[in-house]
Amino acid sequence: GQQLNQSPQSMFIQEGEDVSMNCTSSSIFNTWLWYKQDPGEGPVLLIALYKAGELTSNGRLTAQFGITRKDSFLNISASIPSDVGIYFCAGTSGTYKYIFGTGTRLKVLA
């Protein structure tokens, strides 16, 4: 099936550092979602974006809906060990049929 291109694939960072990841699509979306998945569990919604250019925060997390509507970004500031996990982006052009990114595996070194 179709997937979005998400990068980086994985990253190791030191506790306290900021993290950035992005997701790109070949088609235009009208909604972007960002999820975090812990091992053996379902994805948990972090941030939802509905308009091009929108910048939304959820605690230390900030996500942006790219103005081209073909990309989105997620930033985590001052990372902590519990930020470890897999982060997925998901986008839809309005059908509610979401396409998922390939995931970014984050590991935080204390």
Decide whether 28 or 78 has the Cβ nearer to other proteins: 28
Decide whether 62 or 98 has the Cβ nearer to other proteins: 98
Q: How far is CA 18 from the centre of its chain?
A: 14
Query: Which tokens belong to 78?
Result: 């001052």
42 near other proteins (CB under 8 A): yes
Query: How many positions of this chain bind other proteins (CB under 8 A)?
Result: 25
96 near other proteins (CB under 8 A): yes
Q: Which residues of 29-64 are buried (b: 16+ CB within 10 A; e: fewer)?
A: bebbbbbbeeeeeebeebbebeebebebeeeebbbb
CA distance 11 to 34: 17
88 near other proteins (CB under 8 A): yes
Residues that bind other proteins (CB under 8 A): 1, 3, 30-31, 33, 35, 40-45, 48, 50, 88, 92, 94, 96-103
